Amino acid sequence: MAMTGVDVPVIKIMRMLRVMRPLRFIKGNPSLKMVVVALLDSFTHILNVLVVIMVVFLIFAILAVNFWGGKMFYCSIDMYRLITEESCLFELGQWKRFDHNFDDVKEAMITLYVISSLEGWPDIMFQTLDTTGVEFGPTKENNISNMSFFIIFILIGSFFFLNFFLGVLFMKFTEA
């Protein structure tokens, strides 16, 4: 404590070693040690599952870019009345893109990750239900069939692969 004001790099490294304190607890607790060993043993299997999940996400991201690329724009004033950029700017509004969109594969992957977390996915789904065309704003419930994409993705991307991931962990825990 006396060395708190001293700016010596060696002391900073010694302070960082305090992070290692919980490892002593793991050493003394056999059941926790079994969990940590199982996690470390299953690391390669988890990486294999993550590669498969990323490929599935990539497939869905490419599909989403083809379906909704460039269609996720709206006017900041009245999104359902001002559906073109010119009319929005004429009314002194701002032509904006939704935060979660499918304009490119990177944005689509991020959006699919948000959807797979099952937090806020209905908002994204309703935004795609309202899409009309490139350079046009939303029209209320324009294309209800877009809902099927989200249902299929949540069933495959979230539930199935989450269980697949947990199955790999469970398999390693039962072996340990």
Res 175: pLDDT? 66
pLDDT tens over the chain, length 176 residues: 555 665 666 666 767 777 777 777 777 778 888 777 877 888 888 888 888 889 999 999 999 999 999 999 999 998 898 889 999 999 999 999 999 999 999 999 999 999 988 888 999 999 999 999 888 889 998 889 999 999 999 998 888 877 887 787 777 666 65
Q: Which of 103, 99, 119 is nearest to 62 (CA)?
A: 103
C-alpha 109/C-alpha 38 separation (Å) is 30
**Does a structural domain hold residue 84?**
no
Neighbours of 163 (CB within 10 A): 11
**Does a structural domain hold residue 91?**
no
DSSP string, 85-112: HHHHHHTT--EEE-SS--SSHHHHHHHH
**pLDDT tens digits along 126-157:** 999 999 988 888 999 888 999 999 999 999 88
* Helix H or strand E segment including 73: strand 73-75
Q: In which domain, by residue range, is 133 found?
A: 31-70+101-175
**Does a structural domain hold residue 37?**
yes
What is the count of structural domains for the chain?
1
Q: For residue 162, what is the domain's CATH number?
A: 1.10.287
Contacts of 149 (CB under 8 A, 6+ apart): 60, 63, 64, 67, 128
Res 131: pLDDT? 92
C-alpha 88/C-alpha 77 separation (Å) is 8
Contact predicate 90/108, CB 8 Å? no
**Does a structural domain hold residue 96?**
no
